[in-house]
Chains A and B, each alone.
Chain A
């Protein structure tokens, strides 16, 4: 699967409170409503800036902090197609795969705000169309590819009536 869009650049240690604040997430399961507040504390206008298919690009430790799954869900509903970061906090990483948000772990130092990117999820290749720089991501563990291919963990469990992590 090949994704194309613009980079929205953030720094290191973007925590889940910044992705979606606790003051909103406890109130509703309406992710479209939560999506309006994504990244609000870092960039109040973020939701309005995003064109469908755009990427969040960040530094180290993206998604640190709480276990809230509203974080990847709200990102998906804000029309972001994938998050690209130098590293991810582990709970966020699992939650993203479980909910079907592609996450790409790659050195992002050569990506600036506004760059046009092409991401090949199959090969892990990220091409910066603005600068011509190509970088290749760390591959996902096999188990996560299985879950992602089944459309997330809930469909994986429904389809196999439990975990089916090996053939």
Chain B
């Protein structure tokens, strides 16, 4: 019987012939924690009475969720992470380096066929790199740091075959929002997703990460993609010249295969307060907004900033709107400066903040007021997510957010993409 991508990766890492439903103890290739989860992981690691992490070269901690620190409580937790990293000789990405899910691929910590765990739910992002990566809690992170292993239940897989060509002004974010709207917030719970088809192949590796990033928003354990030459080149450019691609077998057994044609897809918007509350833009256009956010692990990469800048170039944001831009990493920020993207955005009225997660998770850098509407390129719009439970969050692509920032209301970006 054939195997899915995740069955093959879990087989290779556990030494078992892993099939859906099995429980396996698997070796991990890299483990990561961020500042919301690492402090508890350090506490659990101490409780395990282990002296050293299994391999300091395979562990990183990232200070990104509240960076730079907005208060003394957070500062104490950051200090704990710095001390632990120094003591253990592991990699620490301090404030300003960027969002963990940008740094892990960008700094070459993830390769095709790898098994990576991270104490952050959006760790599923690296599925775009043909890796099995998944989010865990702090104690699981501590156990993986201590032993280099973690147990997994091998999940069944839902395959999403996306064919056709995305129309101008419609992007990877619109595609994944659409799929989440179709299958709902728990449509893939306990399962892995495989995203395939010509519409996925046509995406850049950066855009593919946008799709895999949101696999968790349909409940999935992973959001895997097949390897190709584009990925091989991307990995080599990020220091990974080793190449262990994993394809699903032609006779792999799937829980479900869902087929979509994206050729007529409109820009999509997730409305408050759940990610699966998705509408085509025609149904929500005209909704007034007071704040717009471009950034996060979903859409803070160079390509995203470039798209936003192409719309905002020579224009000004609406006087009733604040536009916050958080590049996904220091590298992205530097590239965006070199390309002139940052000056374009700032001239249009954007406030650029430190690379990190702040505005998305409500820790700082743009907490909305009561009754305000926010349109954001992030991945979650739960009530209170941005730090105020009386605000309303809409999720969309960088193009839709940029177009809406200019209009002062939710606006269709496709007008900027017709010749």
Report which residue of B35, B36, B77, B367 has the largest number of chain A beta carbons within 10 angstroms of its beta carbon.
B36
Is the beta-carbon distance between A87 and B186 smaller than 8 angstroms? Answer: yes
Q: Given A64-B186, A154-B47, is A94 in contact with B389 using a C-beta cutoff of 8 Å? A: no
Q: Given A70-B40, A154-B44, is A91 in contact with B383 using a C-beta cutoff of 8 Å? A: no
Cβ-neighbour of B136 out of A18, A67, A157 (below 8 A): A67
Q: Given A18-B384, A94-B140, A165-B151, is A61 in contact with B74 using a C-beta cutoff of 8 Å? A: no
Stretch at the interface among B1-9, B141-149, B264-272, B346-354: B141-149
Is the beta-carbon distance between A157 and B23 smaller than 8 angstroms? Answer: no
B250 within 8 A of A: no
How far is it, in angstroms, between the C-alpha of A68 and the C-alpha of B149 when the chains are bound?
A: 20
How far is it, in angstroms, between the C-alpha of A68 and the C-alpha of B363 when the chains are bound?
A: 14
How far is it, in angstroms, between the C-alpha of A21 and the C-alpha of B387 when the chains are bound?
A: 8
- Which chain B residues lie closer than 8 Å to A25 at the CB level? 36
Q: How far is the CB of B333 from chain A (nearest CB, A)?
A: 23
Cβ-neighbour of B380 out of A17, A69, A90, A152 (below 8 A): A17
Complex: chain A residue closest to B39, CB-CB: A29
B236 within 8 A of A: no
Is the beta-carbon distance between B219 and A64 smaller than 8 angstroms? Answer: yes
Is the beta-carbon distance between B139 and A67 smaller than 8 angstroms? Answer: no
Is the beta-carbon distance between A87 and B189 smaller than 8 angstroms? Answer: yes
Is the beta-carbon distance between A158 and B47 smaller than 8 angstroms? Answer: yes
How far is it, in angstroms, between the C-alpha of A28 and the C-alpha of B384 when the chains are bound?
A: 19
How far is it, in angstroms, between the C-alpha of A25 and the C-alpha of B74 when the chains are bound?
A: 9
Q: How many residues of A contact B (CB 8 A)?
A: 43
Is the beta-carbon distance between A41 and B151 smaller than 8 angstroms? Answer: no
Cβ-neighbour of B143 out of A73, A91, A157 (below 8 A): A157
Q: Given A95-B137, A141-B23, A152-B139, is A61 in contact with B185 using a C-beta cutoff of 8 Å? A: yes
Is the beta-carbon distance between A65 and B48 smaller than 8 angstroms? Answer: no
Complex: chain B residue closest to A93, CB-CB: B190
Instruction: Identify which of residues 57-72 in chain B touch chain A, using a CB-to-CB cut-off of 8 Å.
Output: 65-66, 71
Is the beta-carbon distance between B185 and A64 smaller than 8 angstroms? Answer: yes
Cβ-neighbour of A94 out of B66, B136, B146, B361 (below 8 A): B136
Give a binary string over B120-151; 1 marks a CB under 8 Å from any A CB, 0 the rest. Answer: 11010000000000011111101100110101
Q: How far is the CB of A151 from chain B (nearest CB, A)?
A: 10
Q: Given A28-B73, A67-B136, A158-B47, is A22 in contact with B36 using a C-beta cutoff of 8 Å? A: yes
A22-B385, A23-B362, A158-B48 known; 7 new pairs, CB 8 Å cut-off, are A18-B382, A29-B43, A67-B136, A69-B37, A91-B137, A94-B140, A165-B23
Query: Can you pick out 14 interface pairs between chain A and chain B where the beta carbons lie within 8 Å of each other?
Result: A13-B274, A17-B382, A18-B382, A26-B74, A26-B361, A27-B77, A65-B380, A67-B135, A89-B219, A90-B190, A152-B139, A153-B140, A157-B50, A158-B47
Contact surface of B with A, Cβ cutoff 8 Å: 23, 25, 35-37, 39-40, 43-44, 47-50, 65-66, 71, 73-74, 77, 119-121, 123, 135-140, 142-143, 146-147, 149, 151, 153, 185-186, 189-190, 219, 221, 274, 361-363, 367, 380, 382-385, 387, 389
Contact surface of A with B, Cβ cutoff 8 Å: 13, 15, 17-18, 21-23, 25-29, 41, 60-61, 64-70, 73, 87, 89-91, 94-95, 98-99, 141-143, 152-155, 157-158, 162-163, 165
